[in-house]
Amino acid sequence: MNPAIETIGLRKSFGEQVAIEALDLSVERGDVFGLLGPNGAGKTTTIRMLTTLLAPDSGTARVCGFDVSAQPAEVRRRIGYVMQRVAYRGLLTGRECVEIEAALYHLPRREIPVLAEVALDAVGMLPHADRRWTTYSGGMQKRLDLACGLLHSPEVLVLDEPSLGLDVQSRHNVWDFVGDRRLGGATILLATNYLDEADRLCNKVAIIDNGRVVVQGSPSELKRSVGADAVEVATGEPERLRRVIQGERWVKKIVVGELGDLHIFVEDAAVALPAVMRIGLAHGIVLERVTYSQPSLDDVFLLHTGRELREAGMAS
């Protein structure tokens, strides 16, 4: 069986700016596949190519076995796309919004009222269906967009930053929605720059930076690949501290973050923590903060790019 989504050598540039370079992805049917990366990494550009809204410069992309360039109509029939920004729907009611969307999908006219109710109920919006869109909170507007994406029972649901800008409760509502779809066997492509979102929802993740996939796999596999505990040290002299500890046998790798923090990947944090503090004291280096954690997806990004995902997002 063909993958739900497959790209080979996909490339897109805007003038001299390369947005996506040699992108290879394979999303199996039933996957919740995360595109994880900072703002400006190329996630939305990738999604716009896969949903036929943007033509690639070169390479191949197929969705449900259909080429996005040669067979765009076939691709569109099989996808539901929820964009990053909530669609403006003016003075329409929620029910009217969904029914108009159903007509745009050319769904049978007689079935539209029932299909709209099913979609609204799936996202918890049926009790609010006859209120005007302008009275909805941001979270409710996003849920309405999700309902529109479900209308035609797509084989692949594409979500671009589905919880961006939402409050905590609304984010969890979106997460519950994705979790329910996953249990139902849906294929979901989810772009996000939230580490916790990717870790919780996705069974596979591709980490993207500067238009390239730097590493991909399941979240647990990627975190295991770090192979070390992470000790983070805040100090006014990160380079000096790096020099004096880099030869210690318990050090596996040291990265100086863009914000000046020292990230030390070690075999055993229980050994490394007191050693770092002892060495700092012996050399007169003031340690403002010393913490440690089990490997995270941010550590994976840091190891492969030399930057924290949070820092990269702020810089873009």
pLDDT score at 165: 78
Please tell me what DSSP assigns to residue 2: -
Phi, psi (rounded to 5 degrees) for 95: -65, -45
Query: How many CB atoms within 10 Å of residue 264?
Result: 28
Structure pTM? 0.80
pLDDT score at 180: 83
- Name residue, tokens 């055993």: 268
Let me know if 191 is exposed, middle or buried by CB neighbors in 10 A (0-12, 13-18, 19+).
buried
Distance between CA atoms of residues 39 and 42, nearest Å: 8
Q: Each residue of 119-154: pLDDT tens digit?
A: 999 888 999 999 999 999 888 998 899 999 888 889
* Mutual angle of helices 168-183 and 138-150, in 10-degree steps: 20
C-alpha torsion angle, residues 261, 267, 268, 271 (rounded to 10): -80
Q: Each residue of 164-176: pLDDT tens digit?
A: 878 888 888 888 8
Distance between CA atoms of residues 207 and 170, nearest Å: 25
pLDDT score at 95: 95
Q: Kindly list the structural domains of the chain, giving each domain's residue range(s) and its CATH number in brackets, ordered by start.
A: 5-222 (3.40.50.300), 228-294 (3.30.70.100)
DSSP 23-51: EEEEE-TT-EEEEE--TTSSHHHHHHHHT
Averaged pLDDT in 10-residue chunks for the chain of 316 residues: 91 92 93 90 94 95 96 93 79 93 91 93 92 91 90 91 83 85 85 88 92 91 82 90 89 81 84 90 91 84 74 44
CB 230 within 8 A of CB 300: no
Sign of CA dihedral 171, 26, 150, 50: positive
> What DSSP element (H or E) covers 180?
helix 168-183
Q: Which long-range contacts (CB under 8 A, 24 or more apart) does 127-134 make?
A: 128/94, 129/93, 129/94, 129/95, 129/98, 130/93, 130/94, 130/95, 131/93, 131/94, 132/91, 132/92, 132/93, 133/89, 133/90, 133/91, 133/92, 133/93, 133/94, 133/97, 134/90, 134/91
Q: Residue 307's closest CA among 253, 255, 252? A: 255
Phi, psi (rounded to 5 degrees) for 31: -75, 145
SS3 state at 185: coil
Strand partners, 262: 233, 256
Distance between CA atoms of residues 270 and 273, nearest Å: 6
